[in-house]
Amino acid sequence: MTTQVTPDVAVLRREVQHKYTEVATSPAQTFHFHHGRPLAEMLGYPMDLVDSMPPQAVESFAGVGNPFSLGTIHAGETVLDVGSGSGFDCFIAARLVSPNGKVLGVDMTEAMLEKAQTTAQKMGLNQVEFRKGFVEELPVEDNAFDVVISNGVVNLSPDKYRVFAQILRVLKPGGNLYLADIVVHKQVPDGAKANVDLWTA
C-alpha cells in the first residue's frame, strides 16, 4: 500500500492565491512564466480577437494552452471555466455562445475575480458570471454545462481525481471538456510533491 504525498492544501492554496494576486494586480511585473498578450500569441489565439479586447482583459492571462483549439463552442451553449483567473478565456467563450448563451468562471483568488468582473462589465458581457470557489468543490449545480474549459489549473490541485469528478458532475450528458494543462511523463519524487514552492514555480 502506497501513501500519496501532497503538500498541505491550505498552504498550497494560500501560495497560489498570493502568486496570482500579483499577476492580477501587477501584470507589468516579470514572472517565471509567460503571461498576457505575448502568451496568447505564443499559444495560437487569434490575435485579431485578442487585440479587440481592452488591455485589462488580456494582460493577466496566464494559461498554458488554447482550449478552444480542441473543439467547437456553439451559440446558446453554457460554458464553465474551471479556474478562470482574470477571465480571458471566459471573454472568448462569451463571444462564441452569444448573448443567448451563458459563461460561468470559477476561481479562488479574489483579485482575479474582481478584475474579471470589472472587465466583463466594461465589455458589456452580460452572459458572463464569476463565482468564488475551489476546483475540487465547484459551486455549481449538477448537469448544468454543455462545455467545461480549463487552462493550466488542474496541475495546481493535489487532488486531481476530485477535480475531474467535479467536472463530470457539472457536465451535461454528452458534454465536452476542453482541457489545456501541464503533464509530466516521469514519476515526481515525493520530496518534490511535498514542496509547496515547486507547485507554484
Using CA atoms, how far apart are residues 38 and 35, in angstroms rounded to an integer?
7
pLDDT higher than 80, residue 119? yes
CB 199 within 8 A of CB 14: no
Domains of the chain, first to last: 9-199 (3.40.50.150)
Rounded-to-integer distance, Cα 5 and Cα 19, Å? 23
Q: Which residues contact 1 (CB under 8 A, 6 or more apart)?
A: none
Cell matching residue 155: 496541475
Please determine, for residue 61, whether its predicted confidence score (pLDDT) is greater than 80: yes
pLDDT of residue 12: 86
Q: Are the beta carbons of 195 and 166 closer than 8 angstroms?
A: no
Region 13-17: mean pLDDT is 91
Q: Which amino acid is at 194?
A: A
pLDDT confidence band for 167 (50 / 70 / 90): very high
Residue type for position 151: N
pLDDT for the residue numbered 185? 67
CA distance linking residue 171 with residue 14, whole number of Å: 28
* pLDDT band (50, 70, 90) for residue 50: very high
Residues 116 and 103: beta-carbon distance below 8 Å: no
